[in-house]
Amino acid sequence: MYGASPFTLAGKTALVTGATQGLGFEIAKALAQAGARILLNGRDASRAEAAADKLRAEGDVQPLVFDVADEVAVASAFDALREGGLDFLVNNVGLRDRCALDEHSLDDVRTMLNVNLVAPFDLSRRAAALMGAGGRIINITSIAGPLSNKGDTPYTIAKGGLESLTRALAAELGERQITVNAIAPGFFATERNEELTSDPSIDTWLEQRTSLGRWARPEEIGGAAVFLASEAASYVTGHVLFVDGGYAAHF
């Protein structure tokens, strides 16, 4: 098994949601570099095509445009995947809106739960129906799931639920030899966090609160995804892998 690289993903097809930028883009890039064919998902066709174009030097990357929260669009997209099949699903799409508890409308909360939890449930069961033995589902959760903070309650609820969904799916899909794991990112210097990365006080805070004392570079998420998708992780399921520079260890 280990004569050749256990991390090669050649001949496999991966769907990565929310992959037009940020961590989703970096995960798609890493999986492509490991040899997987990538279906790069986004809601906007022009952005999805532009992101796919950036990655085509890495391998076979095709845009797949649909809104993960639109059940009809999701059903249509998965119907189109039936002929080619699917090996990996990365549930990366996420929605976050930080504000005080009494400032959240119930519609806002429902939207966050729908995007961050209900959509991964729906996509996962549809993906599992297309996967054979050796299929992989990887959920992108957050350190906000187990480590709560004020002003982030709906997001924390959703990501905590996604961790529970990961374990529940691992239990349910194990008999089909499909593994289900999660990655819990810490503080990454992505486009979404530009306001924070430009604040020197946050740099100081991270130096004090993480073992590695710095922001994570976006590309540092990729190795965890490749590992969980690969044969090297064939007996790993129901696990949440923290990629947080030691933040949780300091909590």
Q: Which residues are tagged catalytic?
A: 155
How many C-beta atoms lie closer than 10 Å to residue 130's C-beta? 18
Strand partners, 242: 184
Cα–Cα distance, 48 to 31 (Å, whole number)? 17
Nearest to 166 by CA among 154, 181, 150, 185: 181
Assign 230 to helix, strand or coil.
Answer: coil
85: tokens are 């099949």
Compute the 3-state secondary structure of the chain and give helix, strand, coil in percent, each to the nearest 5: 50, 15, 35
Residue 179 parent element (H or E): strand 179-185
Strand partners, 16: 40, 90
Cα–Cα distance, 29 to 16 (Å, whole number)? 10
61: tokens are 């990357």
Cα–Cα distance, 205 to 177 (Å, whole number)? 42
* 97 secondary structure, DSSP code: -
